[in-house]
């Protein structure tokens, strides 16, 4: 495998990541276009707005087969009511999509304190695109997932994050054939050093790899804030 051939694989992975975040940013723009702040700079989500949000989410899931779920996650500070709120839809099969209801009342059954999760804080507080995982899905499907998020702001006021989930199995379907074309050991690695997808038995999803690995080099890919790197064995 030549350096040029490895570079071509790197470029393909980089383009795929940029494309995923571009799609997510477009979804965020479409969602945000439906939202308005009241005179106290809070959102009050009426039924009409929620129906239109659902229509956008369903279309997004239908158009992006690799995505398992998507939606708009609101900061409590942006809402006209104190409890948290998520407008989140999941894929039930190829043609059916459903809204998922989260426990957002503190102390209630299955309370989901989403504002402390990295995928939310990176987008909402830090204002950068984020890619977090892999981890076991909160929805209980016993699947490894990645969560991608981007900031959501209305009239310059940050109100939460827009995100989507990808199952690692679907990520492997998309990217493993590309990694295997490289002819060298390769893995996509998240900001905490955990493998997202790799083409080697020692680079399996979820495994931690140290910053310095003998014989390997790294290349930053995708949006800068996402902090995703490609780890690969150096070509002589």
The predicted-structure confidence for 141-167, as pLDDT tens digits, reads as follows 568 899 999 999 999 999 999 999 999
Superfamily of domain 13-167: PAS domain (3.30.450.20)
| The predicted structure's pLDDT at residue 143 | 81
Q: What are the residues facing 88 on neighbouring strands?
A: 71
Which of residues 211 and 13 earns the better pLDDT score?
13
Q: Which residue is it, tokens 């009342």?
A: 105
Write phi, then psi, for 209 (nearest 5 degrees). -120, 135
Average pLDDT of the chain is: 91
Query: Residue 232 pLDDT more than 60?
Result: yes
Which residues, other chains included, contact 115 with Cβ-Cβ below 8 Å and sequence gap of 6+? Answer: 75, 76, 84, 121, 124
User: Could you tell me the CA-to-CA distances from 73 to 46, 89, 190 in Å, in that order?
Assistant: 16, 11, 22
Average pLDDT of the residues in 40-48:
83
Query: Considering just the CA atoms, what is the radius of gyration of the chain in Å?
Result: 19
Query: Residue 19 pLDDT more than 90?
Result: yes
H-run or E-run covering 79? none
| The predicted structure's pLDDT at residue 164 | 97
pLDDT-above-70 percentage for the chain: 96
| The predicted structure's pLDDT at residue 167 | 94
For 110-142, write each residue's pLDDT tens digit. 778 899 999 999 999 999 999 999 998 766 556
Q: Which two tokens stand for residue 164?
A: 């989507």
52 by Cβ neighbours in 10 Å (0-12 / 13-18 / 19+) ranks as middle
For 45-100, write each residue's pLDDT tens digit. 889 999 999 999 999 999 999 999 999 999 998 887 667 899 999 988 777 899 98
Separation CA 193–CA 206 (nearest Å): 9
pTM: 0.92
Domain coordinates of the chain in residue numbers? 13-167, 170-233
| The predicted structure's pLDDT at residue 128 | 96
| The predicted structure's pLDDT at residue 140 | 55
């Amino acid at each position: 495998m030549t350096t040029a051939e490895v570079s071509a694989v790197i470029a393909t992975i980089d383009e795929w990541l940029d494309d995923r975040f571009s799609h997510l940013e477009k979804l965020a723009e479409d969602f945000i276009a439906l939202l308005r702040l009241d005179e106290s700079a809070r959102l009050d989500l009426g039924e009409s707005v929620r129906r239109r949000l659902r229509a956008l989410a369903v279309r997004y899931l239908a158009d992006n087969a690799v995505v398992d779920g998507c939606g708009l996650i609101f900061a409590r500070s942006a809402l006209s009511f104190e409890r948290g709120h998520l407008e989140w839809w999941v894929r039930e099969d190829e043609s059916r999509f459903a809204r998922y209801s989260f426990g957002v009342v503190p102390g209630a059954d299955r309370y989901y304190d989403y504002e402390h999760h990295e995928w939310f804080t990176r987008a909402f507080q830090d204002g950068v695109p984020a890619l977090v995982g892999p981890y076991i899905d909160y929805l209980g499907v016993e699947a490894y997932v990645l969560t991608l998020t981007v900031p959501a702001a209305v009239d310059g006021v940050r109100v939460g994050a827009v995100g989507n989930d990808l199952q690692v199995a679907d990520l492997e379907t998309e990217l493993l054939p590309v990694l295997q074309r490289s002819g060298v050991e390769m893995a996509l690695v998240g900001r905490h050093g955990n493998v997202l997808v790799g083409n080697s038995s020692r680079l399996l999803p979820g495994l931690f790899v140290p910053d310095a690995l003998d014989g390997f080099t790294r290349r930053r890919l995708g949006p800068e804030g996402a902090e995703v790197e490609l780890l690969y064995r150096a070509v002589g």
